[in-house]
Amino acid sequence: MATRQTSKSVVFHHPFKLSGVDRTLPPGDYRVVTDEEQIEEVSFPVYRRVATMIFVPAETGNASTVEMVTIAPQDLEAAQQLDVAHGA
């Protein structure tokens, strides 16, 4: 089965929380990666999302250490909307 991975950067201007992360995250740029697999039952390329992950600063406090956390895309979208609302 064919798979693909997409990556994007999201920016938060205010501290935020995400389901699956047990602490408040600081403002900043975050890398979000989505893994998808191809659905082979159709005659044209169609992909379904398998997992979405965000790279966040590790709890250790070391600025260069990150951890990858699996998140729900709708939770990320909700956190982004709250971030925009805080800036208004």
Number of domains in the chain: 1
pLDDT at 58: 87
Task: Please say whether the dihedral angle defined by the alpha carbons of residues 68, 71, 77 and 82, taken in this order, is positive or negative.
Answer: negative
CA distance 58 to 52: 18
One pLDDT digit (tens) per residue for the chain, 88 residues? 788 999 999 999 999 999 888 899 999 999 999 999 999 888 888 889 999 999 999 887 676 789 999 999 999 999 999 999 987 5
Structural domain harbouring 25: 3-87
